[in-house]
Amino acid sequence: MNIQSTINKEVFIPRNERMLVAVEVQRRKKKRMSFLSPGSKGDYATFICVSVTNTRPHQLLISKVKQFSGSLAFTRTSQWAVEQLRQVNGINPNKDSPEFDLVFVNAVDQWVASSAAEKCILVQILYRACQTYWAGKFINCSSKLTGVHQMKVALGERGHKLSAAEDKTVGLVHTAQQLADIAHKVIKQPFHSKIQKY
């Protein structure tokens, strides 16, 4: 069982919720914990999760889930309804970065995902979940996810550029193969036939 399945089974299913995505993150600006001794690090893994309630009307939730070192259990330490989300910062279609901010009514969390792709997955699933579960409130949700549409457009443009580059590469490989075939034929010709041509 992978980590996402385990988190869903331990944290969300018992609360009659379904997890849509979990992304491991680290704080961009670490908070100092005064109760920890200077040598102690307070090791734990943190996941930002998006879930939806199974009961209607569906409620979309963003949760912070932790797994402390030495423990196999996952614990939900914070939770917000998407209505409390004011903004998602750090979405720049011109620059890949794993950094992002979640701005809530009463909190701002600054995170670094394990990769820019992981961050994109989280934001895209959150965006789609807003479309699915907030059909009547989509305008509010889309305004909160500032720049998500730009990111989707940029990802689409990158996809087209990659496809064009791939087509060009296939063309170059084909041309190289033709040149190799011609060179092979020239090398195979008897030496005296080459001299006669000159």
Percentages (nearest 5) of helix, strand, coil residues in the chain: 45, 25, 25
Distance of CA 6 to the CA centre of its chain: 19
In the structure, what pLDDT confidence band is assigned to residue 169 with cuts at 50, 70 and 90?
low
Question: What is the residue-averaged pLDDT of the chain?
Answer: 77
Rounded CA-CA distance 22/98 in Å is 15
User: For position 133, what pLDDT does the model report?
Assistant: 81
Could you tell me which residues come within 8 angstroms of residue 136 by beta carbon, excluding any fewer than 6 positions away?
none
User: For position 45, what pLDDT does the model report?
Assistant: 94
Domain 3-146: assigned CATH number: 2.30.29.30
Tokens 């040598």 found at:
39
Q: Which residue has the higher pLDDT, 161 or 77?
A: 77
Specify which of 91-100, 156-165, 179-188 reaches the highest per-range mean pLDDT. 91-100
Q: Which residue has the higher pLDDT, 94 or 173?
A: 94
Write the DSSP string, 14-64: GGTEEEEEEEEEEESSPPP-TTS-TT----EEEEEEEEEESSSSP-EEEEE
User: For position 40, what pLDDT does the model report?
Assistant: 43
Q: How many helices (H) and strands (E) does the chain have?
A: 5, 7
Q: Which residue has the higher pLDDT, 14 or 144?
A: 14
pLDDT tens readout for residues 75-122: 999 999 998 999 999 888 788 899 999 999 988 999 999 999 999 999
Q: Give SS3 for 172.
A: helix
Whether pLDDT at 13 is above 60: yes
Rg of the chain over CA atoms, in angstroms? Answer: 26
User: For position 34, what pLDDT does the model report?
Assistant: 46
Is the CB of residue 100 less than 8 Å from the CB of residue 109? no
Rounded CA-CA distance 124/116 in Å is 12
User: For position 41, what pLDDT does the model report?
Assistant: 45
In the structure, what pLDDT confidence band is assigned to residue 74 with cuts at 50, 70 and 90?
very high
pLDDT tens readout for residues 28-69: 875 544 444 444 445 899 999 999 999 989 999 999 999 998
Q: What is the mean predicted confidence (pLDDT) over 153-179?
A: 58
Q: Give SS3 for 92.
A: coil
Q: What is the mean predicted confidence (pLDDT) over 120-144?
A: 72
User: For position 150, what pLDDT does the model report?
Assistant: 52
**Domain boundaries in the chain?**
3-146, 155-197
